[in-house]
């Protein structure tokens, strides 16, 4: 299934719009990952462990968009947007949130 950030598909025509599809991926924080991220915050540099979590989460969100679009009978998801954020659960922790939205379409 085609997934694109554009609202058109070159060489194809959107024959019907089937609706907005969304995906949400939430990860709990990890004490060890938080510890090493805290060190990186002090000394500077990239935090590979969190980068990997967000990369994995974005791929899972795209896969969920595809699944939900297939359930509607779609050929593609256009206008895809991915967003990341956190959900604070208390003063000591947060959940990592990756969301995806797009429009499920039939192509002709």
pLDDT for 64-92, tens place per residue?
999 999 999 999 999 999 999 888 887 76
Q: Which residues contact 6 (CB under 8 A, 6 or more apart)?
A: 78, 79
Q: What does the pLDDT average to over 56-71?
A: 97
Largest CA distance in the chain: 54
Q: What does the pLDDT average to over 82-108?
A: 88
Q: Give yes or no for residue 36 having a pLDDT over 50.
A: no
Separation of alpha carbons 67 and 62, rounded Å: 9
Domains within the chain, CATH numbers bracketed: 2-107 (3.30.110.70)
Q: Which residues contact 78 (CB under 8 A, 6 or more apart)?
A: 4, 6, 7, 8, 9, 14, 102, 103, 105
The model carries a pTM of 0.80
> What does the mean pLDDT of the chain come to?
86
């Amino acid at each position: 299934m085609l997934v694109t950030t554009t609202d058109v598909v070159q060489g194809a025509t959107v024959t019907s719009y089937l609706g907005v599809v969304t995906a949400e991926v939430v990860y709990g924080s990890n004490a060890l990952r938080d510890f090493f991220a805290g060190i990186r915050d002090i000394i500077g540099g990239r935090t590979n462990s969190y980068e990997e979590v967000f990369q994995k989460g974005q791929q899972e969100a795209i896969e969920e968009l595809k699944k939900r679009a297939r359930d509607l009978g779609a050929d593609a998801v256009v206008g895809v947007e991915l967003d990341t954020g956190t959900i604070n659960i208390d003063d000591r922790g947060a959940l990592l949130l990756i969301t995806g939205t797009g429009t499920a379409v039939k192509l002709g």
